[in-house]
Amino acid sequence: MTKDDQPSSEQDSNETREEMLTPWQRENIRYLEQHGDRPQWQDVEEELEADQELEEELLEEEESPEIVEEIETDESREEQDKKVLKDLPKSRSFADKLPKMKVQRQQRLKKRLTLLVSLFGIAALGMIYYVSPLSKVNRLEIVGNQKVEASLIAKATKLSDKDGIWSAYFDKSVLAKVKASHPRIKDVEVHLSKINNLKIVVTEFSEIAYAKEGKVFHPVLENGVILTNETVEQADDQFLVLINFTPGVSLENLMANINKVDEVVKNNIKEISSTPSKNNEYLVTMTMKDGNQIIASTKDYQDKINYYPQVASEMSEKGVVDMEAGIFSTSFDEIKKQKAEEKAKNDYEAWLKQLEDENKEKNNE
């Protein structure tokens, strides 16, 4: 090959290399040539060629007999180096990383798009639900009521099919309205039923007595409230009959503690009369079905009345068991004698006073 032919061959090789380059590589070469610099990727290629030549030289040296022994002694070290090299991360070019970067970017875009679509979707569903009939009260279900009519409870809630189901569910005033609508209602709870139904669970006060007023009877609740607007002509035998009671502390104490009385004693009570004295406004008289009477205070009668069966068994005659201060009994005959003696004494004192008054009048004349 002549010297004249050498530049042409180099030019041909350069043209061949430029044809193998990608468009952006060719543009990069032109840009760097105009600015008096070489592209970095060409330097990388030259370094790779130099490394390849160095490896070939090393291979030729390894084939020489002079270094065979040295290679054999270093086999264990080379194996360790290979293990270390395997563990080292392999260098990757930008072209190899580019597809992965595109995939990662697409994944991030998909996540953002999914998040935005989810947010807008939830907001749209919320708006649709808000304007749909599903968000309104469809039906009221009244349960637990025994004496109070369901229509009265439903009317007390003041709810309609135009009210939102959630606002009605969390509205505490609905419970207060129902509770205040009737004295029989003890407690009220609201529960969701199905999609847009409300269940009103009502608990009523129990009836435990009847208050007698003339020839009619009024129900008395466990909290001591007398339902004067409800009347019956005949009281049920399983309930106590109260006489001369008015709403107040004495009645409330009596009703609050009546369940502490043994069933045997409670079933033996025929009626309870309010008989307050000057010294004790809580005094009551209980007429028993066995013919005896009990005098007690509504403040503490529940602590003593359960001893009544034992006291009654020791009584030889029918009479009164006084539980106001302690526990002692007196027969009706003895009480009559005491009353007769007291009456005679009072009559005698009245006669003496009359004589004194007459004598004073005579002396004054």
| Residue pLDDT, tens place only, 310-333 | 999 999 899 999 998 888 888 888
The answer to whether residue 127 is domain-embedded is yes
pLDDT at residue 269 in the model: 92
Tokens of 15: 């043209």
Question: pLDDT tens digit string along 59-104?
Answer: 665 555 554 455 455 556 666 655 655 554 555 554 555 567 777 7
The DSSP result for 247-305, as a single string, is: SSHHHHHHHHHGGGS-HHHHHTEEEEEE---SS-TTEEEEEETTS-EEEEETTTHHHHG
CATH number of the domain to which 296 belongs: 3.40.50.10960
Q: Can you give the residue range of the structural domain that contains 314?
A: 207-332
Band of pLDDT at residue 8, cut at 50, 70 and 90: low
Between helices 23-34 and 40-63, what is the axis angle to 10°? 100
The runs of H, that is alpha helices, within 64-93 are: 68-73, 75-87
- Total number of domains constituting the chain: 3
Same domain, 165 and 238: no
Tokens of 111: 């996540």
Q: Is the pTM of this model over 0.85?
A: no
Same domain, 324 and 242: yes
Final residue belonging to a domain, choices 166, 185, 204: 204
Percent of the chain topping pLDDT 90:
25
Judge whether 200 and 140 are in contact, CB under 8 Å.
yes
Query: What distance in Å separates the CA atoms of residue 306 and residue 290, rounded to the nearest whole number?
Result: 15
Same domain, 124 and 222: no
CATH number of the domain to which 145 belongs: 3.10.20.310
Same domain, 147 and 130: no
The answer to whether residue 234 is domain-embedded is yes
The answer to whether residue 99 is domain-embedded is no
pLDDT at residue 55 in the model: 63
Average pLDDT score, the chain = 79
Q: 51: buried, middle or exposed (CB in 10 Å: 19+, 13-18, 0-12)?
A: exposed
